Amino acid sequence: MRRRREGPAVYFPPVHVYLHVPFCQRRCSYCDFSIAVRKTIPAREYVAAIQAEARGASRARAGNSPTIYFGGGTPSLLPPDAIASLLTDLLAAAPDGSALEAFEVTLEANPEDVTPERASAWRRAGVNRVSLGAQSFDDRVLQWMHRVHDAAKIGDAVRTLRGAGFDNLSVDLIFALPEELGRDWRRDLDLATALGAEHLSLYGLTVEERTPLARWVSRGAAAPAGDDRYADEYLLAHERLAAAGYAFYEVSNAARPGRVSRHNSAYWTGQPYRGLGPAAHSFDGTRRSWNRRAWEDYRRAVTAGESAVESEEVLTPEQRGLERVYLGLRTRAGLPEELVPADRRSAWASAGWAALEDGRVRLTPEGWLLLDVLVGDLTAGARIL
């Protein structure tokens, strides 16, 4: 076993590791994530807290397709040397033969944080995939979202990352915005595909409690998109991305051939994963746990040697069965046809909600729009659990 020259990390990385970096410069109008708005990022304290939590993590050998994912929050606000230190810690006690090159290492980044110096430092540290939080190419929309960057920064960031050697980039977009913004969704899709990113993630806007958006909606200053426009924009995305060489492999994610996110796919196929940081979730196959949500609460706990976990649950066989159904139907893998009663298979196919291929039931884009309804229909009366 390799030992780190200094520092206390003493656990084997699980197959999939998620690190939640909660810091942001400001809260976006739609965001209800666990974040900590800071002008100065407490990087040293964050790294020490992650190290403290990792010392108490259960030991599990890395698998054949391990992944590490820095999510947030805004991980790109961390100094590059903090990112490098964390990656060193995660691999310090890995079994002989494990190397960072075997990992898919993703860093979520905001366009305004991408500079030639940072991009090169991220690549040297071992990051090999960047997920860029673009959200829109309309400057007025970005201001409404409380984003710091403008549209020009998105293309600049992509070019800078390419120059630093990144050949695996993802771009996030949000659709179904309030109609009064006048956002041109087709234009945003075309500009996103023109960047040539290997992966795109598309998220429909939702109104979450205790967000600026929720307050705007409550006083009539904004109105959520209706179901019809939500569906129209979602289906347009499938059309435009298919024409550009992307295939949706999950409800919200599309990739060029060979560029599916290994980390995110682990969640959708029920693989175990380990979360580190405030609000991070972990799953061992039967037990799910989640950490204390607030940064300061989390930091104080792990620094004092207390558990970071706020709560946990052990899934019943029925819950695991329901998850299998839900996760299967939300991906292009679908479900084995024997798990779907013949009358449901026939009805869904006739309605254009599913396709029956190679002994599996796969939802169409129209079916994905009804995912929750179809899962409820399928599991009513626990017919397949």
pLDDT digits (tens, 9 = 90+) for 60-100: 444 557 899 999 999 999 999 999 999 988 876 455 445 67
CA distances 298 to 78, 135, 274, Å, are: 18, 29, 16
pLDDT digits (tens, 9 = 90+) for 281-336: 999 989 999 999 999 999 999 999 999 999 999 999 999 989 999 999 999 999 99
pLDDT number for residue 49: 96
Helix (H) or strand (E) holding 375: helix 371-379
pTM for the complete prediction? 0.92
* Closest to 131 (Cα-Cα) out of 95, 173, 172: 172
Query: What's the residue count for the chain?
Result: 385
Domain with CATH 3.20.20.70 in the chain: 16-268
Pairing mode of beta strands 169-175, 199-204: parallel
CATH tag, 16-268: 3.20.20.70
Please tell me whether residue 49 adopts helix, strand or coil conformation.
helix
> In one letter, which amino acid is 231?
A
Q: For residues 332 and 365, is the Cβ–Cβ distance under 8 A?
A: no
Strand-pair partners of 273: 283
Ranges 2-16, 156-170, 260-274: which has the least confidence: 2-16
Phi-psi label, residue 44: left if phi above 0, alpha if psi -120 to 50, beta otherwise:
alpha
Pairing mode of beta strands 247-250, 253-255: antiparallel
pLDDT number for residue 98: 57
What tokens appear for 40 in the block? 């100065």
What tokens appear for 381 in the block? 């009366």
